[in-house]
Structure formats: C-alpha cells, structure tokens
Amino acid sequence: MGHYVEVESGVKVFVEDIGIGQPVVFIHGWPLNNKSFEMQISEVVQAGFRYIGIDLRGYGKSDKPWSGYDYTTQAADVKAVVDHLGLEQIVLAGFSMGGPIAIRYLTKYGTKGVDKLLLMGAAAPLFTQRDDFNIGMQPAEVDDIIAQIQKDRPAFLAQFADMFFEQEKSEEFLKWFQQLGLEAAAHSTIHSAIALRDEDLRDELAGISLPTAIFHGQKDQICPYELGEELERQIPNAYLVPFADSGHGINGDEPDKFNEELVRFLKGATGPKTD
C-alpha cells in the first residue's frame, strides 16, 4: 500500500509499504525514486521483511518544494516517515545519494530504532574531490551536469542511463530508467546535485557502530569503487561486497547476486558470500 506522510508543514512524501516483518527502509539515488528498487520488493517480502520505499522530496510521487535538498533535511524527512509509521529495528538501506542521507540520519538521530545499515553504490563520504581527497568527480564536472540539466534534461537523463549500467540493457529498460528521472522536478534534481557536490561526511563515519554492508560495483563510473573501499576502512563494523561485473546500477547489472547478498545481510550475514 502507499502512504503520504507530511514531513513538514505543507510537504508530503510518498511511501511504498509492502509486506510484514522487520522494516527495510530503502532510500533511492539521484535522480530516481523508490521504483528503482522494484526488482528487490518481492525478494525482500518473500524473505519475511517489510519493504518501505520512500520517494524523497522532489522525486517520484512526493511533493516538490523549492528547498530542502541538503542531506540533513532529507534525513529529517526519512525520520518523519519512520516516526509516522512507528517503525522499529529498521534496516536503513541507502543507494547512491541515499547512502549519505542514511549516514546523516545516524549522525543526527543516533542508532535508536535502527538495526543495521546497508550502503549501495554510496556517494559517500564525498561525491566530489577535494585538495585532500582524490576519489570521484571534480566539482566542475557536477557544474557541467547542472548546465546539461538546465539545457536539455531528457537528453541528459538518456546519457546518464548509459553511464549508470555496465551490462547491456534493452531500449525499453533504458527508457523506463530515464522516465524515473523525469518524474523528479528539474529544480529538485539541480539542488540535490549541489548537495552531492558540496557535502562532506568524512567526520561522520567512525561513529557508526551498526553492522554495515557495503555493496559496490567495481566498474562504477559515477561513484568509483574506491569509495566503497574507503567506507569499509572507516566504518568499524562494515564489510564490502564487490560486484565485479557492475557499474553504478548494481541491482540492475547483477540482480541475482544483489538480491542474494541483500537477503543474506538482512538475515544476519557478517561477510560476503564466498564461492
């Protein structure tokens, strides 16, 4: 079933809520929405868990206010959903931009009510390079993306879909993926790109005490694999699952392995499956 939850006065976000059991709160990436996890819903529910898929403000079916696209506000929106639905012992599962939002949630609200953390192709601890951090895009490359969105957003999203996946996809799949991005507002997409460009979570990792799994594609052109290695180094109780044949869209590139590792983690695995 779908819920609308008012996260602040006049701003409602859409939440997909399917199944029963321990809630797994999925936080999608830029510029998508919770539909990007459609290949996970059946697996999660059949394994005895409750799928909670949030469309972040500005995306999917949620309201699209002008402001509030920084990680702190987005994390507050997630907290409002958790509180409204009375969710307990949640698994926080953040993909791409959803990764830093999940980390900021823990920084801001602590681990009360949170059982574990899953970071998937996470844009953390930084999405862009700094003088003392050489992984990821240059800030100027994000500025160029913003300019492309302002000029021709549909064309940019088509190009982005090609960068997103390593494995060949059908034309229909790529059109569907592009449509997910078009469901967002242009201003939301741009304001979130600014957050991705500017925000820094390096000081927020050492305090994460939860069991943490990090899923990352080794051929990721958007959030390089080195980011996953950095997260594993800095989060005390984390393990890294490499996806050798995946780009950024690991759940689309290697869906069987992704779903298997997802369910293993939800059921208590403390390391990747060994062949």
Strand 11-18 versus strand 49-54 pairing type: antiparallel
Half-sphere exposure of residue 56: CA atoms within 13 angstroms, side-chain side = 34
On whether the pTM is more than 0.85, the answer is yes
Query: At 274, is the secondary structure helix, strand, or coil?
Result: coil
Q: Catalytic pick from 63, 77, 220, 253?
A: 220
Give the pLDDT confidence of 83-142 residue by residue, as tens digits: 999 999 999 999 999 999 999 999 999 999 999 999 999 999 999 999 999 999 999 999
> Rounded to 5 degrees, what are φ and ψ at 106?
-70, -40
What's the rounded Cα separation, in Å, for the pair 166 and 182? 22
Taken in order of first residue, the domains within the chain and their CATH numbers are 2-266 (3.40.50.1820)
SS (H, E, C) 165-232: CCCCCCHHHHHHHHHHHHCCCHHHHHHHHHHHHHCCCHHHCCCCCCCEEEEEECCCCCCCHHHHHHHH
Give the pLDDT confidence of 14-70 residue by residue, as tens digits: 999 999 999 999 999 999 999 999 999 999 999 999 999 999 999 999 999 999 999
Q: Catalytic pick from 36, 96, 192, 246?
A: 96
Known catalytic residue: 248?
yes
What's the rounded Cα separation, in Å, for the pair 94 and 92? 6
How many other β-carbons are positioned within 10 Å of the β-carbon of residue 23?
Answer: 24
**The token pair that represents 241 in the structure block:** 């699952």
Known catalytic residue: 170?
no
What's the rounded Cα separation, in Å, for the pair 198 and 104? 14
